[in-house]
């Protein structure tokens, strides 16, 4: 990879010629451009609309809810729209740096204080002087930032040239910093000290953070390593991060998606744009992904353990040989943002330079144009602080946004099992036995309090799980508690939990306990002899601390699910679930300049707005729904309610039990066989659950030879439960399609392709593209409604009802189902030249409520028609036999497309995407 790329410092990269950006209106905002630097000659209308919406929303500082169907070039639109805004902002700031602050008509004076004249009782001559001074300060700020950008650009270019000169030579790691021999022999690394006057009361800055400040005395470039406790969030004049030019530092884009593979694809798309040579991009990953110290990142060691071994080294217990040289760390950061490296490349680069890529990436994040992070980093304020991610003045782009509510809830939910509590109790007991006489008086009291908390919670869980034996004693049962309920019944309301948590943060007792346990490797305390053998959990205390933090949340925000499993300690647990995700999400919205949520299936947005943004001003939320890039000739959509008159297909939970509904499973087999015969190449079939999938395939194998019949039409592949086997299954499926499908030069055997049986909500229903021959047809069997008797689901629905904002709980329940359906459908039709058939199998797909939640592009482009009667079992179909009508429609559709398929075979589509299986 060529690391030495042209560095942009404000000038717009290559692309269509446009006028210099100008401010407009009373709010002095940049005018939304009519043209964008897009990789192709002319973007589709939906792509142009999305780019314009991103630009306008970012400039206004609003929140955006933008839907763009999968396969419509969404990532390119995100990059081009956001990068155009970013470079226009930088260019405008450079213009301001050149303007005369004494010119009353300049943009600089307008931004500094409006039109000339008296302000209140202040005479005009004085208000004019104040505006001029403000304009001078603003001009100097813009000029200083421009100088800084040029310095960063030169430094990055120098780092690239230095690497090129060094060639493949690997630098040795920096020498370890000397350690005082006395401290090395006498100081115990696991002994905690009473709080000292070195840190202010209530400080949460850990020793590792203080060590980082020694390496970066100024807080790193842009104050990267500062935390909210020790640094004012105000910058420059303390103005609103959404206000005019020059008030909140240089603009930056924070991009977040669910997984690192999705982030890697997004970063890869940048290379296809004219911004590639100018954008500095860095991806923040975990220490586990980036650490190159073999003594820390030991194979098999958990991520939490890697984090704390690293923190211990930074805190003074030995030194990391890859972290001592700030110059090398900065050079790694420069090269990372120049090359847009993924985690694997970053590790190689760090090893080559002998410097830490984890801290290099963090150092680079302050000066990068785009910082890419997974949801887990963005959506939790403590994790953002730990990663050094600052949001003030930033544009935040959240991709795959239909997952955001679940992701926020997951980031703030904790499970604490009886086994984990037992491990924690044992570790604290061992620690007290070793260090009781050497601890200070405050530390003794606090450690005993932690011991008391673990013992009390164990006693409560044991009491909950015990009871008279009964035939169902081994079954798991659940109950709901509020935080106040649990504190009251356990007596922990008498304990000052905030004070205990503050002590644990300052003393870093959980980290020291973990190191102590690993060093001593002593026996654990056995709580009971029930359940499977417990594995050692060095991070048990962290789980207890996280759970105690949850207990401080307001009762209305969440619930504690008490799970009882008399025969299994690992399943007897407390589980804190966050119900009100808005409070956590609004912390992000309040801090950032603008937040834009983008996804393929966001509509209807009412539920999303009520869950995430109900307290946000409605006039500060913008919505957009983009059309698909394919035309109606590319899609056939049908729903099937029966295969013959009088036998409706209503695929509810009991339908998948072979002993209860053998006829239904046979009917499903007939539907799959009919579609498999009519549709060429790859067929993807989605079941509502793994239980339904395996029950159906078992029944097909056991009766009437259905499975053998299907296998003769298309080779069958089944989604594995084990994600480690997923890649092999996908490769085998793709190879079978190539071998047996219409694209094969000499098709093997009589099969006409392959079929993949998978699960809605599983690994294959999100993040995998079945483009072209890999997904010529998709069948969705049934509606994956969740279990309405689930304790967590009931509590969530009750919380939504308590908001008294219409039928939110019903919308939420339907959304859980239809979101999975929409994601499954979206696996096909991945570009403009693609085409596919979609078949929805269940009589309920004809009900108005369900129809309203099917993606609009499916209904309109596919001209969705229902075959086989209405949603009511009393309705009977008219016309030809439903299954025969479906087969005829599919056959006719592919006959019409045959000449187009032959013409396009082997050619890239007009978006330049190769015709192969690839991740989103």
Considering the domain architecture, whether residues 570 and 683 belong to the same structural domain is answered as no
Residue holding tokens 């800055």? 205
Quick check: 916 pLDDT over 50? no
pLDDT band at 24, cuts 50/70/90?
Answer: confident
Considering the domain architecture, whether residues 439 and 565 belong to the same structural domain is answered as yes
* Average of per-residue pLDDT across 845-858: 91
pLDDT at 178: 42
pLDDT at 232: 36
SS3 letters for 715-783? EEEECCCCHHHHHHHHHHHHHHHHHHCCCCCCCCCCCCEEEEEEECCCHHHCCEECCHHHHCEEEEECC
Considering the domain architecture, whether residues 666 and 536 belong to the same structural domain is answered as no
Number of domains within the chain: 2
pLDDT at 844: 94
Among residues 580, 600, 617, the one where a domain terminates is 580
Considering the domain architecture, whether residues 903 and 799 belong to the same structural domain is answered as yes
* Average of per-residue pLDDT across 276-302: 87
* Average of per-residue pLDDT across 202-206: 43
pTM: 0.85
Q: Which residues pair with 919 in a beta bridge?
A: 768
Question: Which pair of structure tokens corresponds to residue 425?
Answer: 């109790």
pLDDT at 562: 94
pLDDT at 843: 94
Quick check: 120 pLDDT over 70? no
Higher pLDDT, residue 807 or 139: 807
Does residue 428 sit within a domain? yes
pLDDT at 154: 83
Higher pLDDT, residue 575 or 244: 575
What tens digit of pLDDT does each residue of 619-649 get?
Answer: 999 999 999 988 899 999 999 999 877 778 9
CA 602/CA 625 separation, integer angstroms: 9
Quick check: 210 pLDDT over 60? no
CA 671/CA 674 separation, integer angstroms: 5
Among 133-142, 199-208, 250-259, 446-455, the least confident range? 199-208
pLDDT band at 244, cuts 50/70/90?
Answer: very low
Does residue 706 sit within a domain? yes
Quick check: 404 pLDDT over 50? yes
Higher pLDDT, residue 390 or 201: 390
* Average of per-residue pLDDT across 842-856: 91
Out of 82-96, 564-578, 731-745, the most confident range is: 82-96
* CATH number, residue 534: 1.10.275
CA 105/CA 282 separation, integer angstroms: 40
Considering the domain architecture, whether residues 771 and 645 belong to the same structural domain is answered as yes
pLDDT band at 126, cuts 50/70/90?
Answer: confident
Kindly report the average pLDDT of the chain as a whole number: 81
pLDDT at 662: 80
Does residue 545 sit within a domain? yes
Please report how the helices 74-98 and 260-270 are oriented relative to each other, as an axis angle in degrees rounded to 10.
60
Does residue 18 sit within a domain? no
Quick check: 682 pLDDT over 60? yes
Considering the domain architecture, whether residues 576 and 640 belong to the same structural domain is answered as no
pLDDT band at 902, cuts 50/70/90?
Answer: low
pLDDT band at 710, cuts 50/70/90?
Answer: very high
12 within 8 A of 37, measured Cβ to Cβ:
yes
Does residue 800 sit within a domain? yes
CA 741/CA 747 separation, integer angstroms: 7
Among 244-253, 309-318, 525-534, 682-691, the least confident range? 525-534
Percentage of the chain exceeding pLDDT 70: 78
* CATH number, residue 887: 3.40.50.300
Considering the domain architecture, whether residues 846 and 751 belong to the same structural domain is answered as yes
What tens digit of pLDDT does each residue of 297-307 get?
Answer: 888 777 777 88
pLDDT at 246: 37
Out of 3-7, 308-312, 494-498, the most confident range is: 494-498
What tens digit of pLDDT does each residue of 68-79 get?
Answer: 998 888 999 999
Does residue 665 sit within a domain? yes
What tens digit of pLDDT does each residue of 345-355 get?
Answer: 788 888 888 88
pLDDT at 229: 34
pLDDT band at 499, cuts 50/70/90?
Answer: very high
Does residue 881 sit within a domain? yes
Quick check: 535 pLDDT over 50? no
Q: Three-state SS for 207?
A: helix
Does residue 229 sit within a domain? no
pLDDT band at 125, cuts 50/70/90?
Answer: low
Considering the domain architecture, whether residues 723 and 826 belong to the same structural domain is answered as yes
Higher pLDDT, residue 538 or 613: 613
Higher pLDDT, residue 111 or 751: 751
Higher pLDDT, residue 523 or 512: 512
pLDDT band at 493, cuts 50/70/90?
Answer: very high
CA dihedral 604, 605, 610, 614 (to 10 degrees): -150
Considering the domain architecture, whether residues 643 and 570 belong to the same structural domain is answered as no
- The one-character DSSP state at 493 is G
Question: Which pair of structure tokens corresponds to residue 512?
Answer: 């020291």
What tens digit of pLDDT does each residue of 749-789 get?
Answer: 678 999 999 999 998 988 788 988 999 999 999 999 999 88
Considering the domain architecture, whether residues 666 and 552 belong to the same structural domain is answered as no
Considering the domain architecture, whether residues 542 and 655 belong to the same structural domain is answered as no
Quick check: 569 pLDDT over 50? yes
Buried b (16+ CB within 10 A) or exposed e, 636-668: bbbbbbbbeeeebbbbeeebbebeebeebbbbb
Higher pLDDT, residue 657 or 702: 702
Among residues 580, 605, 620, the one where a domain terminates is 580
Considering the domain architecture, whether residues 436 and 568 belong to the same structural domain is answered as yes
Q: Which residues pair with 257 in a beta bridge?
A: 374
Q: Can you give the residue range of the structural domain that contains 555?
A: 414-580
pLDDT at 19: 60
555 within 8 A of 484, measured Cβ to Cβ:
yes
Among residues 536, 558, 580, the one where a domain terminates is 580
């Amino acid at each position: 990879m060529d690391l030495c790329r042209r560095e942009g410092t404000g000038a717009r990269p290559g692309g269509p010629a446009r006028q210099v950006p100008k401010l407009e209106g009373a709010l002095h905002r940049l005018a939304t451009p009519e043209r964008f630097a897009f990789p192709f000659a002319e973007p589709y209308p939906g792509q142009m609309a999305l780019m314009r919406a991103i630009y306008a929303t970012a400039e206004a500082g609003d929140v955006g809810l933008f839907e763009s169907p999968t396969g419509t070039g969404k990532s390119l639109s995100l990059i081009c729209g956001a990068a155009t805004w970013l470079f226009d902002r930088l260019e405008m700031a450079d213009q301001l740096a050149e303007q005369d602050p004494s010119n009353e008509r300049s943009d600089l004076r307008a931004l500094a204080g409006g039109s000339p004249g008296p302000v209140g009782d202040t005479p005009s001559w004085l208000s004019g002087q104040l505006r001029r001074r403000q304009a001078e300060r603003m001009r100097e700020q813009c000029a200083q930032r421009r100088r800084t950008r040029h310095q960063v650009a030169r430094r990055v270019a120098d780092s690239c040239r230095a690497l090129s000169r060094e060639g493949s030579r690997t630098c040795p790691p920096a020498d370890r910093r000397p350690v005082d021999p006395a401290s090395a022999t006498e100081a115990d690394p696991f002994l905690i000290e009473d709080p000292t006057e070195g840190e202010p009361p209530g400080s949460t800055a850990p020793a590792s953070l203080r060590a980082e400040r020694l390496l970066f005395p100024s807080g790193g470039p842009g104050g990267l390593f500062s935390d909210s406790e020790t640094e004012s969030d105000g910058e420059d004049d303390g103005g609103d991060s959404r206000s005019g030019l020059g008030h909140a530092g240089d603009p930056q884009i924070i991009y977040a998606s669910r997984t690192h593979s999705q982030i890697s694809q997004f970063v890869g798309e940048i290379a296809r744009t004219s911004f590639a040579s100018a954008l500095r991009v860095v991806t923040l990953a975990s220490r586990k992904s980036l650490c190159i110290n073999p003594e820390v990142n030991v194979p098999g060691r958990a991520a939490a353990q890697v984090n704390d071994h690293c923190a211990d080294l930074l805190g003074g217990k030995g030194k990391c040989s890859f972290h001592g040289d700030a110059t090398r760390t900065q050079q790694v950061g420069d090269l990372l943002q120049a090359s847009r490296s993924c985690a694997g490349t970053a590790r190689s680069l760090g090893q080559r330079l002998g410097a830490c890529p984890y801290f290099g990436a963090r150092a680079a994040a302050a000066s990068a144009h785009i910082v890419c992070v997974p949801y887990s980093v963005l959506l939790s304020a403590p994790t953002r602080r730990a990663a050094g991610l600052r949001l003030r003045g930033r544009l935040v782009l959240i991709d795959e946004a239909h997952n955001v509510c679940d992701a926020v809830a997951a980031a703030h939910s904790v499970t604490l099992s009886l086994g984990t509590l037992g491990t924690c109790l044992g570790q604290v007991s061992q620690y007290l036995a070793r260090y009781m006489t050497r601890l200070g008086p405050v530390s003794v009291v606090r450690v005993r309090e932690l011991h008391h908390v673990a013992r009390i919670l164990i006693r409560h869980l044991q009491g909950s799980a015990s009871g008279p034996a009964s035939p169902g004693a081994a079954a798991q049962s659940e109950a709901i508690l509020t935080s106040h309920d649990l504190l009251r019944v356990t007596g922990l309301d008498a304990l000052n939990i905030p004070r205990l948590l503050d002590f644990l943060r300052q003393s870093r007792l959980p980290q020291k306990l973990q190191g102590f346990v690993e060093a001593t490797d002593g026996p654990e305390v056995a709580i009971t002899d029930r359940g499977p053998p417990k594995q050692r959990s060095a991070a048990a205390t962290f789980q207890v601390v996280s759970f105690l933090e949850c207990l401080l949340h307001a009762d209305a925000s969440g619930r504690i699910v008490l799970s009882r499993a008399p025969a299994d300690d690992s399943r007897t647990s407390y589980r804190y679930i966050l119900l009100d995700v808005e409070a956590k999400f609004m912390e992000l919205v309040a801090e950032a300049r603008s937040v834009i949520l983008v996804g393929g299936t966001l509509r209807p947005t009412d539920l999303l707005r009520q869950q995430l943004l109900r307290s946000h001003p409605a006039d500060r939320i913008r919505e957009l729904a983009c059309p698909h890039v394919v035309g109606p000739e590319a899609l056939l959509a049908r729903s099937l309610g029966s295969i013959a008159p009088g036998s409706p297909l209503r695929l509810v939970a009991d339908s998948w039990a072979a002993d209860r509904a053998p006829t239904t499973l046979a009917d499903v087999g007939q539907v799959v066989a009919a579609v498999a015969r009519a549709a060429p190449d790859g067929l993807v079939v989605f079941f509502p659950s793994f239980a339904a999938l395996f029950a159906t395939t078992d029944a097909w194998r056991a009766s009437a030879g259905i499975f053998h019949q299907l296998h003769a039409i298309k080779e069958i592949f089944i989604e594995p439960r084990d994600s480690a086997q997923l890649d092999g299954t996908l490769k085998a499926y793709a190879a079978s399609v190539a071998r047996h499908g219409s694209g094969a030069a000499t098709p093997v055997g009589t099969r006409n392709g392959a079929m993949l049986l998978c699960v809605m909500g599983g690994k294959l229903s999100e993040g995998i593209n079945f483009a072209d021959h890999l997904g010529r047809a998709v069948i969705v069997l049934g509606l994956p409604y969740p279990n309405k008797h689930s304790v967590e689901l009931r509590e969530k629905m009750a919380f939504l009802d308590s908001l008294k904002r219409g039928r939110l709980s019903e919308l939420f329940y339907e959304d859980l189902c239809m979101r999975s359906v929409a994601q499954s459908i979206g696996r096909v039709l991945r570009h403009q030249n693609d085409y596919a058939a979609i078949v929805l199998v269940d009589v309920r797909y004809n009900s108005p409520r369900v129809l309203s939640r099917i993606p609009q592009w499916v209904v309109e482009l596919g001209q969705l028609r229902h075959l086989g009667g209405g949603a009511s079992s009393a309705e009977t179909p008219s016309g030809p036999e439903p299954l025969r009508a479906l087969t005829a429609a599919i056959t006719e559709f592919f006959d019409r497309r045959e000449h187009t398929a032959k013409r396009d075979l082997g050619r890239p589509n007009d978006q330049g995407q190769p015709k192969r299986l690839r991740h989103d």
